[in-house]
């Protein structure tokens, strides 16, 4: 493998199993293991304003809570926000300020990834400028694009090109892609987007690792995965496999 950036999302994707309620002792062990493994980024969870159910701290991942953790300083921390929560009013300044009350220079968080379905993408893009102005690295994660035409995907990528986004991810959210589909998707994205690309795969067909490695061979330089593949449905590519292949 090349020097791709590894983004571990165990606390975010794995949180769907336990309502983002991870024991502190387990998180301490996990963070130290990530640092020892050479993982570049750790996505600490979601950041949502929706209160309800029995959601644990990693559904909100507030700055105050993250400061209470003893994360190794070699790790770069991130959170994911869901553009579906902005559908009614869009990513307004007041809403974003509630989500991110501090600039990146004062926050434990460096990376913010915005998860979008195709129909949410254009409306969510202005959030990238707001976040970038406050010093954050910005990622956008396009979900469920496997069934989209390459023409449509190229148009979405060209839209992203106009905004200050550091990495554009695509997710095989339903786990239906094969390596040839990944190749077509990367080519389509490259027709509109010149920046860094990332991939997040699901393992419905047992191809999550193969798809990730195919993307990496095509120059996709951000690879996302949770430990043990812990994620919704049949899970994802496994962080431990990617670490081993990169070492």
Domains identified in the chain and CATH numbers: 5-246 (3.20.20.70)
Identify the segments of the chain with pLDDT beneath 70: 1-2, 247
pLDDT at 247: 67
Model pTM score: 0.95
pLDDT at 185: 96
pLDDT at 2: 65
pLDDT at 73: 93
pLDDT at 233: 84
DSSP the chain: --SPEEEE-HHHHTHHHHTT---HHHHHHHHHHHHHHT-SEEEEEE------TT--GGGT--HHHHHTS---TT-EEEEEEEGGGGTTT-S-HHHHHHH--S-GGGSS--EEEEEE-HHHHHHHTHHHHHHHHTT-EEEEEE-S-TTS-HHHHHHHHHHHHTS--SEEEEE-TTS---HHHHHHHHHHHHTT--SEEEEE-B-TTS-HHHHHHHHHHTT--EEEE-GGG-SSTT-B--HHHHHHHH-
pLDDT at 54: 75
pLDDT at 1: 56
């Amino acid at each position: 493998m090349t020097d791709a950036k590894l983004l571990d999302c165990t606390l975010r994707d794995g949180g769907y199993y336990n309502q983002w309620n991870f024991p502190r002792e387990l998180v301490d062990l996990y963070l130290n293991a990530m640092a020892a493994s050479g993982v570049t980024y750790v996505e600490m969870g979601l950041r949502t304003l929706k209160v309800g159910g029995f959601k644990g701290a990693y559904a909100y991942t507030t700055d105050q809570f993250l400061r209470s953790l003893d994360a190794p300083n070699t790790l770069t921390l991130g959170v994911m926000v869901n553009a579906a929560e902005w559908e009614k009013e869009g990513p307004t300044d007041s809403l974003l300020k509630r989500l991110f009350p501090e600039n990146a220079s004062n926050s434990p968080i460096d990376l913010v990834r915005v998860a979008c379905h195709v129909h949410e993408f254009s409306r969510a893009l202005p959030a990238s400028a707001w976040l970038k102005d406050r010093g954050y690295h910005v990622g956008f994660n396009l979900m469920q694009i496997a069934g989209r035409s390459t023409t449509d995907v190229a148009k979405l990528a060209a839209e992203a090109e106009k905004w200050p986004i550091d990495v554009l991810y695509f997710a095989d959210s339903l786990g239906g892609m094969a390596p040839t589909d990944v190749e077509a998707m990367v080519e389509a994205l490259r027709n509109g987007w010149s920046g860094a690309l990332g991939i997040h795969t699901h393992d419905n067909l047992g191809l999550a690792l193969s798809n990730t490695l195919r993307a990496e061979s095509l120059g996709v330089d951000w690879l996302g995965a949770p430990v043990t593949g812990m994620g919704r449905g049949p899970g994802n590519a496994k962080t431990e496999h990617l670490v081993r292949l990169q070492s």
